[in-house]
């Protein structure tokens, strides 16, 4: 890895991962916890960037399209929006590092309505390693946006998860065969 590389840890929150989360992917998301934290440690050790785009919502927002699709989740200032498990501890330890940046996002893609592209270009980052949940929703939409903006993509198969195996396999295939992503184990 070089300094033109960044790790994105997408939506790894209690609501998406914990057994009692409002919109949990459950065990598949819990299994990837140590892989995500290990990658975050690798990136910090190599002086690379770690971004944590984190979904945030208002309860029953009539203007947000997800309100009609999903139960309330990742509500601002709630337990559900807090980072899950070991990642929460990792973030507490590393949040003051210059190269660790958590930011709010309100759409599936970490690029939609955020300054992520600007931040990446300022830092001359051209390669993104995507991790987190859900593989076939927020990770996928972030990957599509990144592809359309000209970023190189790397997906660690053991650091992404979703609700169902079919969605997982479809998204991994799409990353590789439509977005040209490098899939690693």
* Domains defined along the chain, listed by start: 5-184 (3.40.50.850)
| pTM given for the model | 0.96
pLDDT digits (tens, 9 = 90+) for 52-77: 999 999 988 888 888 888 888 999 99
The percentage of the chain sitting over the pLDDT mark of 90, rounded to a whole number, equals: 90
Tokens 């929150």, residue?
Answer: 13
Report the 10 Å Cβ neighbour count for 20.
9
Split at pLDDT 50, 70, 90, the class of 23 is: very high
Residue range 134-143: mean pLDDT, rounded: 98
Share of the chain above pLDDT 70, in %: 98
Nearest to 136 by CA among 33, 10, 39: 10
């Amino acid at each position: 890895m070089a300094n033109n590389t960044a790790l994105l840890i997408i939506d790894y929150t209690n609501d998406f991962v914990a057994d009692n989360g409002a919109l949990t992917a459950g065990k598949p998301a819990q299994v990837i916890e140590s892989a995500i934290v290990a990658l975050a440690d690798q990136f910090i050790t190599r002086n690379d960037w770690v971004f944590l785009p984190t979904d945030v919502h208002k309860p029953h927002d009539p203007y947000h399209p997800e309100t009609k699709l999903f139960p309330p989740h990742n509500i601002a200032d709630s337990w559900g929006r807090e980072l899950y498990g070991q990642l929460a501890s990792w973030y507490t330890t590393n949040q003051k590092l210059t190269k660790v940046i958590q930011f709010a996002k309100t759409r599936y893609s970490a690029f939609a309505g955020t300054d992520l592209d600007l931040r990446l270009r300022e830092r001359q980052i051209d390669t993104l390693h995507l991790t987190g949940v859900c593989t076939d929703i927020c990770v996928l939409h972030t990957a599509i946006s990144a592809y359309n903006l000209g970023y190189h993509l790397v997906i660690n198969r053991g650091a992404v998860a979703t609700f169902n195996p079919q969605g997982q396999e479809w998204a991994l295939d799409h990353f590789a065969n439509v977005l040209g992503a490098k899939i690693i184990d």
